[in-house]
Amino acid sequence: MVAFFGGLLTVSIAAVLNIGLEIEAWMAGLTEEPIKAIALLILAMFPRQFPGILSGVALGVSIGAGFAVLETFDYAYAFGEAGRPDTFVLLLRGVLSPLMHMAWTGALGGAMWAARGPHRSGWAALSSWQFWAVFGAMILFHCIWNAVGLINYLAIALWSIIFHYLKKGFAEVSNWEFEGRIV
């Protein structure tokens, strides 16, 4: 549900903003990443329902996946309307776009949940330099990705960030198990 509704909400808002502001493709990270961050922030307001860093990563990956799938559908529709279905571009987007949007939003979710802590709401993350550093990096990576195209090193950097938060999340769960909070 998070992937579908998060994707639908974020893609719809991004489409309106990108078209209304006449955003060029390389600048899309300036609108799309903040929109996905707001969706995450809304979910981060419920620390009891979504505890721990792994929740942030999972919710971020879900929103990113939903965004990527629906954005690719939008591209397919636009190509069809223009009478130039570009199967190669759609295949490439279908494979790579979800990976990148999932990485960007998953890493941001991990950073947000790590910054907010286990018992505070998402607002706490907004006072953390860690959150803002990852947020700025995600916007920059998104803009570079759209401007230059497929950069393998960028993909490696993005996935190394998300694996950092997965490692922290697994350690957190291990501590909970040790403390007897989960059986």
Burial of residue 157 (CB within 10 Å: 0-12, 13-18, 19+) is: middle
Tell me, what's the pLDDT at 85?
66
Instruction: Specify if 144 maps to a domain.
Output: yes
46-71 average pLDDT score = 90
Rounded to whole angstroms, the Cα distance separating 124 from 112 reads 9
Q: Is residue 30 part of a domain?
A: yes
What is the extent of the structural domain holding 44? 2-178
Query: In 21-173, which ranges are E strands?
Result: none
Distance between CA atoms of residues 43 and 64, nearest Å: 14
Strands (E), the chain: none
Which of the pair, 172 or 91, is modelled with greater confidence?
A: 172
Grade residue 70 by pLDDT with cuts at 50, 70 and 90. confident
Both structure tokens of 178: 């040790």
Q: With respect to residue 113, please indicate whether it lies within any of the assigned structural domains.
A: yes
User: For residue 31, is it within any domain?
Assistant: yes
pLDDT for residue 123 is more than 90: no
Tally of domains in the chain: 1
Query: In this predicted model, what pLDDT tens digit does every residue of 80-109 receive, in sequence order?
Result: 777 776 677 777 777 777 778 888 899 999
Residue 183 lies in a domain: no
Residue 58 neighbours by CB distance under 10 Å:
19
Q: To the nearest whole number, what is the mean pLDDT of the chain?
A: 84
Separation CA 90–CA 18 (nearest Å):
20
Q: Residue 75 half-sphere exposure, CB side, CA atoms within 13 Å?
A: 17
Mean pLDDT, range 34-59, rounded to an integer: 91
Residue 39 lies in a domain: yes
State pTM to two decimals. Answer: 0.80
Average the pLDDT over 104-122 and give the result: 88
